[in-house]
Amino acid sequence: MAVDMLKPQFTGARVTRLEDARLLRGQARYLDDIHLPGMLEVAFVRSTRAAARITGIDVQEALRTPGVVAVLTHADLPWEIRNDGFGVTQPVLARDEVRFVGEPVAVVVADSRYAAEDGVERVKVSYDPLPPVLDMEQALADAPRRVHSQRANVFFHSEHTTEGFAEAFAQAPHHLQLTFRVHRQTGVSMETRGCAAMPDPASGRLTVYVSHQSPHGVRAQLARVLGIPENELRVIVPEVGGGFGIKAMFYPEYVVVTALARKLGKPVKWVSDRTECLLSDAHGRDSVHEVAVAFTEEGRIVAVRDRVLGDNGAYPFPGFPGAVGESNWATNMLPGPYKIPHISLTVDCVFSNKTPLGPYRGVGGPIGAQVQEGMVEAVARHLGKDAMEVRRVNLIQPEDFPYRTATGNVYDPGSYSESLEAALRLLDYEGFRRRQAQLRKQGRYLGFGVCVFVEPSAMAHSEAGSTPYEAAFIRMEPNGTVTAALGLGPTGQGHETTMAQIIADRLGVDVKDVVVLHGDTDSAPFGGGTGGSRSGTIGGGAAIRAGEQLRAKLVKLAAHLLEAAEEDIELADGQAFVAGVPARGIPVRELARIAYTDVNRLPADMPPGLEVVARYQPPAPATYSNGTHAAIVEVDIRTGLVRVLDYAAVNDCGRLINPLIVEGQIHGGVAQGIGSAFLEELRYDEHGQLLTTSLMDYLLPAATDVPRMRVQHLETPSPSLGGFKGMGEGSLIAAPAALANAVSDALAPFGVLVTELPIRPEQIVAWVQAAGQGA
């Protein structure tokens, strides 16, 4: 019986979310729902040129616009975001020169957003154009010019080659060269970015609301740039309508709005419109991998060389220059689930006159997986083997864990082979091959694609900053309900539920009695925020640790009151009782009441109150979740359109906190993967103008583009507290590669191997026509 009592009641269960009611009733408060009397609204004048010197800014007509209060430029707000290490600073409003279309040049403050936009239309900026840097290969040689005159365009270079690489590569009997490329994409959270700042004249403090993934990160950056002590800044993250990495970054607009509130002594708000978002939210992806692979007759990959070039756009985001993040992740994880003994990597990241690059869910994972699985497909074709056989030959096996990769990662145990076989079973791989052959005779082109992925999660370093730990504060209130606070920054992941599940199990109370606060630097302990799939593992670990410390207090008090030994006390269903003698018990809420208001009954060495704060840092620099995605697609060779007919995701993220939430994350990541593979591309013209500035041009997957997905869970626990592994990004890492391979498989009769994403319909038509002409 005691064993049953110890079994977690909520952790691992499909608990419906505690945050849903307010969201469904339309009562949630997002950034733009914050309104204060006298609040001013701002709109930005943004650069219309990719590269130009500013020769003049005329604000007179704008100032005469009804409702406009002020128009400010760099001269008025001379703040700069410093990016230590790269010799580049980013003025929050352009100073003398603009470096990408969409860069903030001036800000108009007005009594309404309508009036602010009227003012923006009347600000006249004169430009003297410069030749834009738009091609990353040319940028390498500082052609046509330097983006930042004081330094070369290449701002990051790294090399890593395993000992014995050259011999291993040369001695292999087979070699292939492939170039993989992924174009620019971005997160497109449905809620645009925004912030609002307001001074509190009484205390002298500033309150800043911001739609963000890391409240403490914003506070630290604002304090640094504006020179405000951190205890005079309160950052509050309200309800956030999606983040996907783009909202983990620190943007110039946040400095401008905060500085304006201080300067004008009034509440000031800015909410981005969708065009501004596509111009100024962190872009992602955009890299080229030139790969050479050496392999044996059996298909065993023995050595891979990868030369990577990444386009970072105009400025490095502080703490996370996107091209470096992309390239490092992609190369570091290049072996994926395969035993590849030798690696030679060269990475160059360049500045260009495009929007700055930052994280988008999965970061370099998708292109890394595309390289890894594209190689496997190419090797299989070259040898005339089934690609699944090549995977089986190369996969890391259960007995190989802990496995050290050629890039220096140490993988904790996972279910790599098991996940592949499970995915093949879910979609009946053998049966599919028969169906595929029959349908090809009818001129229908179906394809099967697979990606076996490894997702590094809960990393000591990620875009959420270099905070390798999380903190949880828990207070049991005098009536026995529980209030917890964490420094996480959820954007829809359901932490109010998952953290409550973990805490409720420790305290023996109902999950509905636990309120989880987040997003307010005045109430939450310092934390890194949400990003890099860290919250469940690191935040969950902190919740376990804090929960256990509070549990120890409850147990001590109960043992004292029940005159029993502490080790005999159980907590369950809101009761503390002696193990095996449920009748000898006391309600937890009675313990709470005593702890605060009847303190004479406490043990002599127990202070009043029930509050703890605990921190948790996982034992390893990362824990690796894994799985296999498999897709069946049909390609219409006349229109070039691809339909995803069936999809399976086998996922292993260690112990599950809430399968419902994990499945939601997988579904969403696959949908984004469909977008990445077929729809989403930020396109620039030869002048550096972004052509995709609306959602009619930057296409997102709709309900009719996404198939019904089959999800299967495997559970290989991590060494972290609770056994959790992060899983927020794996599905977007795996889906593009699985879909690309499915299209390659469908078009194999035409000799097509997809190496570039997204795959555009006109490309498919061109491939088919080219093959027809060749035949």
Residues that bind other proteins (CB under 8 A): 16-17, 19-21, 23-30, 32-33, 35, 64-67, 114-115, 118, 187-192, 239-242, 244, 273-274, 491-494, 660-661, 663-664, 666-672, 694-696, 700, 702-704, 706, 708-709
Residue keyed to tokens 């590569």:
169
User: Smallest distance, Å, CB 695 to other proteins?
Assistant: 4
User: Smallest distance, Å, CB 18 to other proteins?
Assistant: 10
d(CA 666, CA 661): 9
User: Smallest distance, Å, CB 573 to other proteins?
Assistant: 24
Distances in Å between the alpha carbon of 729 and those of 480, 556, 571, 662?
A: 37, 41, 36, 11
CA atoms within 13 A on the CB side of 551: 22
Buried-exposed string 562-573: b where 16+ CB fall within 10 A, e elsewhere: bebeeebbbbbe
Buried-exposed string 696-725: b where 16+ CB fall within 10 A, e elsewhere: eebeebeeebbbebebbbbebbbebbbbbb
d(CA 579, CA 481): 23
| Residue whose CB is less far from other proteins, 156 or 647 | 647
**In which region does residue 58 sit, left (phi positive, over 0), alpha (psi from -120 to 50) or beta (all else)?**
beta
| Residue whose CB is less far from other proteins, 33 or 566 | 33
User: Smallest distance, Å, CB 364 to other proteins?
Assistant: 21
| Residue whose CB is less far from other proteins, 8 or 242 | 242
| Residue whose CB is less far from other proteins, 378 or 671 | 671
User: Smallest distance, Å, CB 716 to other proteins?
Assistant: 24
| Residue whose CB is less far from other proteins, 31 or 222 | 31
**Cis before 252? omega within 30:** no
Nearest residue to 718 (alpha-carbon basis) of 503, 548, 453, 538? 538
Quote the DSSP letter at residue 193. P
Residue keyed to tokens 């292993």:
652
| Residue whose CB is less far from other proteins, 299 or 529 | 529
User: Smallest distance, Å, CB 574 to other proteins?
Assistant: 24
Side-by-side strand order, sheet with 445-457: 445-457, 623-635, 642-652, 709-714
**Helix (H/G/I), strand (E/B), else coil: 457:** strand
| Residue whose CB is less far from other proteins, 516 or 578 | 516
| Residue whose CB is less far from other proteins, 110 or 376 | 110
Nearest residue to 524 (alpha-carbon basis) of 488, 496, 498, 490? 488
Q: Which two tokens stand for residue 577?
A: 């009782």
Q: How many other CB atoms are found less than 10 A from the CB of residue 510?
A: 15
| Residue whose CB is less far from other proteins, 225 or 666 | 666
| Residue whose CB is less far from other proteins, 114 or 437 | 114
**What end-to-end distance do the CA atoms of the chain give, in Å?**
74
User: Smallest distance, Å, CB 54 to other proteins?
Assistant: 26
Q: What's the farthest any 2 CA atoms get from each other in the chain? A: 93
- What ranges make up the beta strands (E) of 232-282? 233-236, 268-271
Secondary structure, 3-state, 388-416: HHHHHHHECCHHHCCEECCCCCEECCCCH
Q: How many other CB atoms are found less than 10 A from the CB of residue 315?
A: 24
| Residue whose CB is less far from other proteins, 225 or 277 | 277
d(CA 667, CA 512): 26
Sign of the C-alpha dihedral computed for residues 693, 697, 698 and 701 taken in this order: positive
| Residue whose CB is less far from other proteins, 248 or 564 | 248
